[in-house]
Amino acid sequence: MQFLKFIQQPWHWSVSGLLIGLTVPLLLILGNKAFGISSSLRHICAACFPADISFFKYDWKKESWNLFFVAGIALGGFLAGHYLQDGQDIQVAAATQQRLAAYGVHDYRALLPPEIFSWGNLFTWKGLIFFIGGGFLVGFGTRYAGGCTSGHSIMGLSNLQWPSLVATICFMAGGFFSANILIPHLFKWFN
């Protein structure tokens, strides 16, 4: 019980940063593997939907470790979200709460605010834009950049790859644009 209380308490962000940072050399040393999450969708498609598409014609079994890695992330997230919560609301900085209140977000009991992320919003214009449009842009950007933020910003930068630096700068610029310009206008439009 004491161990459960220990892992339920809020941890400093640097703990996860350190563990993620140690994943990169561990993968390189143990098997010359590259860290990245978006490639797992390609592996799943190659395994489940064998078609005559050149993008999916490769030996996906050599990359099956990546599928277990992603499944572990999903399982860990599920376990943490359902069994390791301390029962308190999510801690959100006062300045962030003020900004989110202007967007109509007031509920901090869950990791995702229900004012945006709920089954009721899924089949509305808000859901169409946030879920379908946002998902398409993330998928398109990941494919266009040749990888996701974890692949480029963690693995690529640690290997001093120029394309990863360019991709990371673009990811950050897109994030700043979305958070400071796009999202406020979308919330004004829907509220």
Beta strands in the chain (DSSP E): none
3-class secondary structure, 43? helix
pLDDT tens column, 12-63: 889 988 998 888 888 888 888 887 888 888 888 888 887 788 888 888 888 8
Task: Give the integer Cα–Cα distance in Å for 75 and 41.
Answer: 17
Is the separation of the CB atoms in 154 and 22 below 8 Å?
no
- Would you call 4 exposed, middle or buried from its count of C-beta atoms within 10 A (0-12, 13-18, 19+)? exposed
* pTM of the predicted protein model: 0.74
Residues 73, 76, 81, 87, CA torsion sign: negative
pLDDT tens column, 78-131: 988 888 877 777 778 899 889 888 888 888 877 778 887 888 888 888 888 888
